[in-house]
Structure 1
Amino acid sequence: MGVVDFYVGSWIADDRGGVRRVLAADVEVEWNLDAPVDDEELVQTLHRIAVFADTVEVVSRAPAPDGVALVYDMVAPFGTARMAEFLTVAHGRITEVRQVYDLVAVDRFFPGLYDQ
């Protein structure tokens, strides 16, 4: 199983240790949530999604020479939100994570996801 598959499987299964194992020590993280982000906040947000969502499914995958773009459907009790994620991989670790959330759906169906 590749690094990306391990990362995806780990966060969907709420295995925070697994997620941390494949993130580079100096991983760069960016997202469009209205909250500060670093690797620990990324892991905590993925944890909150994993425990609240009924299901999380990769609905699209586009490989690139240095990583992959993924689109997820995150099904919550009251509806579905979508997230796109762009991962860069080098030397067996994820070095960059870029996440773009459907903010309207996240606010509606995942209330409090990123409220600090």
Structure 2
Amino acid sequence: MDVVGFWTRSWISDDGTAVRKLLAPDVEVEWNLDAPVDDEELMQVQHRIAAFADSVTVTGQTVAEDGAAVVYDLTAPFGTARMIEFLAVVEGRITEVRQVYDVTSTDRYFPGLYAN
């Protein structure tokens, strides 16, 4: 199975059930947003992006045997923010998710995205 491709298609299409199946029970999640993160918060933010964005486009990807780096453009009604995601994959499950957002653009074009 193409875990990384299935992951990107699943969260972009707002398929939370598929996303949950891909995450290892002890998945480690980190990001540079000014909010604490765990797998539930990650899924909530991905849902908000999928629901609000005009489009989410994979603009670049580097895949290795044990994971990938994926670059996304998150296009909102008034502009585009970029996010880079680093995934670690073990035995078909995602064990680590590291997301780096262009915080200035994210705050401008996706206001309240990660507010609790």
RMSD over aligned Cα atoms:
0.7
Instruction: State the alpha-carbon separation in 2 of the partners of residues 63 and 18 from structure 1.
Output: 20
- State the match for 1:73 in structure 2: 73
Identity %: 66
- State the match for 2:27 in structure 1: 27
Unmatched runs of 5 consecutive residues or more in structure 2? none
Question: What stretches of structure 1 move > 4 A for 4+ residues in a row?
Answer: none
- Structure 2 counterpart of 1:44, which letter? Q
- State the match for 1:13 in structure 2: 13
Where do residues 56-71 of structure 1 align in structure 2 (5 Å cutoff)? Answer: 56-71=56-71
Unmatched runs of 5 consecutive residues or more in structure 1? none
Offset at 1:64? Answer: 2.4
Normalising by structure 2, we get a TM-score of 0.98
Normalising by structure 1, we get a TM-score of 0.98
How many residue pairs were aligned?
116
- State the match for 2:49 in structure 1: 49
- State the match for 2:97 in structure 1: 97
Deviations 1:52-93 (A, max 9, x none): 000000000011231000000000000000000000000110
- Structure 2 counterpart of 1:11, which letter? W
